[in-house]
Amino acid sequence: MLYLDKHGRSTQGTPVRAFCFVSTKEKDRKVEGLHFLRVGMKNYRAFLPLWAKWLQDER
């Protein structure tokens, strides 16, 4: 997870304006790439319960 500033950068000491979640794209248990999901502060509260449900369903 990355904390992003208003320019979309992860910069220490600047206000957080968005979050970036990172996961791997795999094939045959080998990493082929990365997935990035950026969520702005405005949409974070709506995103959080959906993400928590997805995590729960993946168990």
What is the tens place of the pLDDT at every residue in 1-59? Answer: 999 999 999 999 999 999 999 999 999 999 999 999 999 999 999 999 998 998 899 87
* Tally of helices (H runs) and strands (E runs) in the chain: 1, 3
Confidence (pTM): 0.74
Q: What is the pLDDT of residues 32-48, one digit of tens each?
A: 999 999 999 999 999 99
For 30, the enclosing helix (H) or strand (E) is strand 30-40
Token pair, residue 58, equals 């993946």
Token pair, residue 30, equals 């080998």
Would you say 24 and 31 are in contact if contact means Cβ atoms under 8 Å apart? yes
Among 27, 7, 29, residue whose Cα is nearest residue 16: 7
